[in-house]
Amino acid sequence: MKLGILKYSNRKSLSPKLHGYFMERLGIEGEYKTFSVPPDELESFILRSRNNSLDGFSVTAPHKETVIRYLDELTPEAKGVGAVNTVAVRKNKLIGHNTDILGFRKALNGMDLNVENGEVLLFGAGGAARAVVSSLCAMNVSVIYVVNRTLKHAESLSTLIHDAESAELIVVKDSESLSGKISLAINSLSYGVFQPELLTSLPNLKLLYDLNYGANALDPSILDGSYRYSEGMSMLVHQGFESLKFWMQKDLPDDGLTESAIKKLYGEIESE
DSSP alpha helix (H) spans, the chain: 15-26, 42-49, 76-81, 100-109, 127-138, 151-156, 233-248, 257-271
Task: State the CB neighbour count (10 A cutoff) for residue 121.
Answer: 25
Burial (Cβ within 10 Å: 0-12, 13-18, ≥19) of residue 160:
buried
Same domain, 34 and 95: yes
Catalytic residues: 64
CATH number where 108 lies = 3.40.50.720
Same domain, 110 and 224: yes
**What per-residue confidence (pLDDT) applies to 271?**
60
Last residue of a domain, one of 216, 231, 246: 231
Same domain, 86 and 115: no
* Residue 159 neighbours by CB under 8 Å, 6+ apart: 82
Question: What strand order describes the sheet that includes 31-36?
Answer: 31-36, 2-7, 56-59, 86-90, 93-97, 73-74
Bridge partners of 120, per DSSP, are 144, 184
List the domain range (segments joined by +) for residue 188: 102-231
Dist. CA 20–CA 160, nearest whole Å: 34
User: Taking the complete model, does pTM exceed 0.85, yes or no?
Assistant: yes
CATH number where 10 lies = 3.40.50.10860
Determine the 3-state secondary structure of 2 from DSSP.
Answer: strand
Backbone angles phi, psi at 40, to 5 degrees: -75, -5
Same domain, 240 and 223: no
Same domain, 222 and 256: no
For each of the chain's 272 residues, which pLDDT tens digit applies? 999 999 997 778 899 999 999 999 999 999 999 999 999 999 999 988 887 789 999 999 899 999 999 999 999 999 999 999 999 999 889 999 999 999 999 999 999 999 999 999 999 999 999 999 999 999 999 999 999 888 888 888 988 876 556 689 999 987 778 888 999 999 998 766 787 888 988 999 999 999 999 888 888 888 888 999 999 999 999 999 999 999 999 999 999 999 999 999 998 876 65
* Total number of domains in the chain: 2
Same domain, 114 and 208: yes
Same domain, 59 and 141: no
Same domain, 169 and 222: yes
Same domain, 172 and 202: yes
Same domain, 10 and 120: no
Same domain, 159 and 265: no
Contact 151, 127 (CB under 8 A): no
Same domain, 216 and 248: no
